[in-house]
């Protein structure tokens, strides 16, 4: 069986050794030493500051919105071509999702369309979809023009650079997901990177029940529990040791896919000022019929790519608000993410590509 993804497992001995330390210290959660160590190492590796580890990537979005003090029921412009968590977090926090269509090549928010939608919005939530950076300079310019907040859902964009620095340094806040299936993971987990120190300090309080961090630990503001445990931080430390190997292996597989499928399917156009981090392998078919044909053929050989992201959220039962986004709807109907994980073998990629080519309408 070839799944679309498989969690990366670092050395079990190393993970167990980290566990020994947790047992010795008797410190299992609540900003423990491994969580602190992971924070420092991630800030250094990613080239960011004000990084806050949290329990998962969806909570990262929820906490970011609270820390940026968005007014109640804010209108938030976002993309319909993303994982459900982006719009889910907006709606859960009581805000209004306003979809803006995507560019058919980058698969990110289309800057021209945004201009129209952005003016009346309190905030913008961009998504670096499949790790490909949004047009962050244009989006940040809109922010300065209209004075609203910008959050980037960077769930896929671990280690992505843009114009020579981390893409996480743009906007007011960027959020990461460290779910088990991600390039870098902590079993369940996530992080927020804040531009401004004040927002970061507020978020630290928010994820610890709103207790006063400095003084006596009394309830000062409204908060929840979004803390990362030491068991999860330990996994992050072990995975981070191997991150260069993980990315190199994934990029090599992507190269192989692209070589074998050139001219057969379309690929996402990566931003000219950035390079792929090897997070996903999306391919765009001519139409949904072609996709379904290929999918059936692959499934019958126990190969399970996934329809990321289907359907376009503006047409989903949960988020259909009557808005139409023709580009996103079209892309969502004919895009497939192919299997991509460190253990995947070149011979398996060959088989997958051969099946795709055989089952595509010419």
Q: How far is the CB of 62 from its own copies (least distance, A)?
A: 7
Q: What is the rounded distance in angstroms from the CA atom of residue 210 to the CA atom of residue 73?
A: 21
Q: Which lies closer to its own copies via its Cβ, residue 162 or residue 319? A: 319
By CB under 8 A, residue 302 contacts its own copies: no
**Cβ-based nearer residue to its own copies, 75 or 179:** 179
Q: Closest CB to its own copies among 16 and 286?
A: 16
Residue selected from 201, 220, 241, 266 as contacting its own copies according to rule CB under 8 A: 220
Beta-bridge mates of residue 190 = 54, 177
Q: Does 231 engage in binding with its own copies (CB under 8 A)? A: yes
Does residue number 229 form part of the binding site for its own copies (CB under 8 A)?
yes
Of 40, 84, 141, 264, the one binding its own copies (CB under 8 A) is 84
Tell me if 211 contacts its own copies by CB under 8 A: yes
Q: Pick the closer one to its own copies by CB: 130 or 308.
A: 308
Nearer to its own copies, 50 or 229 (CB): 229
Residue 85 as a binder of its own copies (CB under 8 A): the answer is yes
The span from the CA of 331 to the CA of 288, in Å, is 9
Is residue 20 a contact point for its own copies (CB under 8 A)? yes
Work out whether 4 is an interface residue with its own copies (CB under 8 A): no
Q: Least distance in Å: CB of 218 to its own copies?
A: 6
> Does residue 304 belong to the site contacting its own copies (CB under 8 A)?
no
Q: How far is the CB of 230 from its own copies (least distance, A)?
A: 7
Q: Residues touching its own copies: how many (CB under 8 A)?
A: 58
* Nearest approach, Cβ of residue 6 and its own copies (Å): 6
Task: Identify the residue among 218, 272, 347, 358 touching its own copies (CB under 8 A).
Answer: 218
Binding region for its own copies (CB under 8 A)? 6-7, 9, 12, 15-16, 19-20, 23, 26, 28-30, 55-59, 62, 72, 83-85, 87-89, 91-92, 94, 179-180, 185, 187-188, 209-211, 218-225, 227, 229-232, 235, 310-311, 313, 316-319
């Amino acid at each position: 069986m070839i799944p679309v993804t498989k969690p990366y497992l670092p050395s079990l001995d190393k993970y167990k050794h980290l566990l020994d330390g947790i047992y010795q210290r008797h410190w299992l959660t609540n900003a423990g030493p491994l969580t602190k160590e992971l924070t420092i190492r991630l800030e250094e590796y990613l080239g960011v500051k004000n990084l806050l580890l949290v329990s998962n990537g969806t909570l990262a979005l929820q906490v970011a919105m609270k820390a940026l003090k968005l007014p109640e029921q804010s209108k938030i412009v976002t993309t319909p071509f993303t994982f459900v968590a982006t719009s889910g977090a907006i709606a859960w926090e009581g805000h209004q999702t306003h979809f803006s269509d995507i560019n058919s090549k980058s698969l990110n928010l289309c800057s021209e369309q945004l201009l129209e939608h952005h003016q009346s919005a309190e905030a913008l939530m961009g998504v670096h979809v499949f790790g490909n950076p949004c047009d962050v300079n244009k989006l940040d310019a809109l922010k300065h023009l209209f004075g609203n907040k910008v959050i980037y859902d960077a769930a896929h964009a671990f280690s992505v650079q843009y114009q020579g620095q981390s893409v996480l340094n743009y906007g007011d806040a960027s959020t990461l997901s460290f779910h088990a299936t991600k390039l870098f993971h902590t079993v369940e987990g996530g992080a927020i990177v804040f531009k401004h120190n004040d927002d970061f300090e507020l978020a630290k309080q928010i994820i610890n029940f709103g207790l006063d961090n400095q003084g006596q630990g009394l309830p000062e503001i409204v908060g929840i529990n979004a803390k990362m445990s030491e068991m999860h931080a330990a996994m992050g430390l072990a995975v981070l040791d191997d991150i260069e190997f993980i990315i190199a292996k994934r990029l090599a597989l992507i190269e192989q896919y692209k070589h074998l499928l050139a001219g057969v399917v379309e690929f996402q156009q990566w931003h000219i000022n950035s390079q792929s981090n090897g997070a996903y392998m999306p391919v765009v078919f001519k139409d949904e019929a072609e996709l379904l044909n290929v999918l059936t053929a692959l499934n019958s050989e126990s190969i399970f790519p996934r329809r990321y992201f289907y359907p376009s959220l503006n047409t989903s039962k949960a988020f259909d608000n009557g808005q139409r986004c023709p580009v996103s709807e079209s892309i969502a109907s004919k895009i497939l993410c192919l299997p991509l994980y460190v253990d995947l073998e070149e011979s398996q990629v060959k088989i997958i590509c051969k099946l795709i080519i055989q089952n595509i309408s010419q």
